[in-house]
Structure 1
Amino acid sequence: MRKQVLACLLLGALGAQAQEKFVVEGQLKNIPDGTVFYLMKQEGNVGSMEATDTLQNGTFRFELTTAGNELEGYGLMARDDTKFPPMLLELWVNPGSHLLIQGENPYIYSW
């Protein structure tokens, strides 16, 4: 019986990891509306696409949930090869964080 109680407590502790939302918001100038942005989750040298948003009135917004309660790496990319060089802006988020990205040219590294 003692082992069962201990197992239940351990499972409860594992399930109690913080899963909070975080927000990545962009306010851009001189970038055409309709430009598509991707938010990629970084896992080592590999990224997986987590969300997309289209620039409207100079803004984009991502709202996602963290996997746990630790710092997580993401990357922001644009999908317009004619106007944007193939660049990835590295972002780091914590549960509950709100990142505001501002820029006014297609060179994502400079935002």
Structure 2
Amino acid sequence: MVRLGVGAAPGGLPEDQALCLVPMTDLDARRMWRSLPAAPRLAGRRDGTPLEDLLLRLGRLAEDFPEIAELDLDPVLAGPGGVAALNARLRLAPAGNEPDPSLRALRPS
């Protein structure tokens, strides 16, 4: 799953967030960031192509390496030259043992 969050509430949770299961398509990536209330601030006067590319790459990474339990990129800056993550935090776990409650809620009973 790929989770996109923008801004932070006092508790540290993203105010605006969108979730998408992998594998992702370009349409999924476009819908993901455009669904956020902060979308106009993310795109400015440009389209969101660099952000969509980043989301697709992160989705592919999550699909190819299921042992990546969490990857936090914060902050991510987007500009005319592309997208850059200034800080990254990675947590690995054995595949299939991810305790993310939102993943469990998406699995059929």
Give the TM-score of the pair, scaled to structure 2: 0.31
Higher RCO (CA 8 Å, separation ≥ 6 residues): 1
Give the TM-score of the pair, scaled to structure 1: 0.31
Bigger proportion of residues as strand: 1
Bigger proportion of residues as helix: 2
Larger Rg: 1
